[in-house]
């Protein structure tokens, strides 16, 4: 019998209407122990979103602003101090990207601080990786009390070498493991992601404390065998998370 089984929640959410999204996220967090398990009063909580290169929310390339706003509100209700941040895929464009995709407005609506990683400065972090030896990490990612990943459910085909890119991503994850992941899978992207794919409704919020488990479950939700996803497999093999056999699903 597997001990310390990882919990991943999958909660239905049919649209991006604010109350529906907030209720779905809260339910998904309750199923994995509740937000208070991860956020204590007074904690500075960085919501690491995906703003990429300034696409409007309906393109399904970025974390939807409704999900960002709802999560920031829940952090505040738990007594935390929410920060919302990212850097764009195009240097010098992050501020515009955050505005164009609606995340900047979501931060304002939630009363959260918006953080542009291009202007925060970085720490140089040594990595004992397969590909990487040193990475520059935005200071808020390390300085925050709680790091929460807020990815978009989408495919990705921008790898010059799938294997080397996958190892590099796992190298980064090995040094910066978030406390929690809350994935926007209400409308994801299929095909030629991360930006040129087609919006596809999955109508789910997926949450968990182990990002590897969350990715494994997300892959299965959209029809991919999780072991075929190199990032997930490599992270599991390196002991950074667990595969699907050791995950306890919580559906709602």
Find the distance separating the first CA and the last CA of the chain, reported in whole Å: 25
Interval 58-68: pLDDT, tens: 999 999 999 99
Is residue 4 classed exposed, middle or buried when 0-12, 13-18 and 19+ CB atoms within 10 A define those classes?
exposed
Q: Does residue 152 surpass a pLDDT of 50?
A: yes
Domain 6-251 bears CATH identifier 3.40.50 = yes
Phi-psi region of 102 (alpha: psi -120 to 50; beta: other; left: phi over 0): left
Q: Does residue 249 surpass a pLDDT of 70?
A: no
Q: Confidence band (pLDDT; 50, 70, 90) for 1?
A: very low
- Answer with the residue of higher pLDDT: 45 or 1: 45
- Answer with the residue of higher pLDDT: 196 or 27: 27
Interval 198-210: pLDDT, tens: 999 999 999 999 9
- The Cα 171–Cα 131 span in angstroms is 7
- The Cα 164–Cα 203 span in angstroms is 32
pTM of the entire predicted model: 0.93
Cα–Cα distance list, 73 to 25, 83, 94, 193 (Å):
11, 11, 23, 29
Domain extents in the chain? 6-251
- The Cα 69–Cα 92 span in angstroms is 24
Q: How much is the pLDDT for 15?
A: 97
99 close to 239: Cβ distance less than 8 angstroms:
no
- The Cα 226–Cα 230 span in angstroms is 9
């Amino acid at each position: 019998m597997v001990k310390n089984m990882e919990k991943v929640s999958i909660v239905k959410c049919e649209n991006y209407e604010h109350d529906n999204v907030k209720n779905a996220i809260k339910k998904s967090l309750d199923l994995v122990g509740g937000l208070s398990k991860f956020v204590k009063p007074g904690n500075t909580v960085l919501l690491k979103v995906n703003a990429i290169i300034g696409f409007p929310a309906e393109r399904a390339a970025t974390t939807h602003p409704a999900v960002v706003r709802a999560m920031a509100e829940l952090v505040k209700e738990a007594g935390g101090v929410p920060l919302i941040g990212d850097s764009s895929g195009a240097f010098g464009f992050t501020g515009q990207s955050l505005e164009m995709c609606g995340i900047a407005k979501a931060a304002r609506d939630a009363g959260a601080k918006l953080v542009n990683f291009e202007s925060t400065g970085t720490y140089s972090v040594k990595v004992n990786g397969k590909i990487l030896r040193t990475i520059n990490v935005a200071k808020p990612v390390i300085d925050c009390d709680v790091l929460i990943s807020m990815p978009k459910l989408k495919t990705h085909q921008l790898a010059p070498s799938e294997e080397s890119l996958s190892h590099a991503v796992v190298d980064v994850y090995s040094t910066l493991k978030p406390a929690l992941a809350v994935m926007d899978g209400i409308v994801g992207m299929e095909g030629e992601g991360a930006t040129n794919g087609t919006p596809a409704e999955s109508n789910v919020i997926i949450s968990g404390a182990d990002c590897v488990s969350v990715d494994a479950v997300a892959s299965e939700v959209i029809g991919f065998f999780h072991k075929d996803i190199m990032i997930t497999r490599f992270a599991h093999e390196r002991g950074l998370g667990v595969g699907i056999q050791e995950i306890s699903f919580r559906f709602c």
